[in-house]
């Protein structure tokens, strides 16, 4: 007879699963909730947040993706801000918090596999400049490089430009951004889409500076 974890693993194909799936697999158990609690204590399954789980190290079939998990933890959301800037090689620091934007309220989650943060944007500002990415572990939305930068500028309370030249110090001294890498991402089409969605003088100054520097 299979153990509880063997039964769960045999009936759930993906390494990420939810409470409904667990209860379906364990429906013949007298106390399925107690069984789940015991499996969590044994680290055979890991609770990411209420209702969302992954298999533990000995039972997973592939490496999980923090990026795809971010979209499941709180959504709708897309990877952006510091995590995306690091992903694209625009800032030198390795970012340990998976940062996202969302149309839902701003939230932070501390989980057994890492920390996740979400900053709320309006639907118009959220939805522009996103691309769908995927790997063997799942799919997720990620901001394009200029969109991630615009989100960073918008969400950073320290960033208070009075003119476009402000961004020379902010980008290259404060954020220590790679200037050549940044120039490689500048596109007038992307600039137009983002500024049109944001309708913000702060963002206008940012792209005015970038287009002037790139001319």
**Residue boundaries of the structural domains of the chain:** 4-55, 66-214
Kindly tell me if the per-residue pLDDT of 109 is higher than 90.
yes
Kindly tell me if the per-residue pLDDT of 2 is higher than 90.
no
Kindly tell me if the per-residue pLDDT of 101 is higher than 80.
yes
Mean pLDDT of the chain: 95
Mean pLDDT of 205-210: 96
Kindly tell me if the per-residue pLDDT of 49 is higher than 90.
yes
Mean pLDDT of 29-34: 93
pLDDT at 23: 95
pLDDT at 28: 92
pLDDT band at 138 (very low <50, low <70, confident <90, very high): confident
- Is the overall model pTM greater than 0.85, yes or no? yes
Task: Note the pLDDT tens digit of each residue in 158-183.
Answer: 999 999 999 999 999 999 999 999 99
The token pair at 198 is 């944001």
Kindly tell me if the per-residue pLDDT of 13 is higher than 80.
yes
């Amino acid at each position: 007879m299979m153990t509880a974890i063997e039964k769960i693993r045999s009936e759930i194909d993906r390494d990420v699963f939810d409470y409904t799936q667990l209860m379906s697999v364990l429906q013949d158990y007298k106390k399925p909730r107690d069984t789940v609690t015991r499996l969590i204590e044994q680290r055979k399954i890991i609770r990411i947040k209420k209702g969302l789980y992954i298999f533990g190290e000995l039972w997973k079939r592939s490496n999980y993706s923090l990026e795809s998990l971010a979209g499941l933890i709180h959504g709708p959301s897309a990877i952006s801000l510091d995590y995306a800037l690091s992903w694209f090689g625009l800032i030198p620091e390795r970012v340990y918090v998976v940062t996202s934007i969302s149309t839902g309220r701003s939230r932070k989650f501390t989980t057994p596999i890492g920390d996740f943060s979400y900053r709320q944007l309006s639907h118009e500002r959220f939805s522009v400049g996103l691309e769908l990415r995927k790997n063997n572990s799942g799919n997720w939305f990620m901001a394009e490089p200029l969109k991630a930068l615009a989100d960073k500028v918008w969400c950073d309370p320290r960033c208070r430009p009075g003119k476009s030249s402000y961004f020379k110090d902010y980008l290259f001294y404060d954020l220590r951004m790679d200037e050549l890498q940044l120039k490689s991402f500048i596109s007038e089409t992307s600039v137009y889409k983002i500024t049109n969605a944001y309708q913000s003088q702060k963002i206008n100054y940012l792209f005015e500076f970038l287009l002037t520097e790139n001319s």
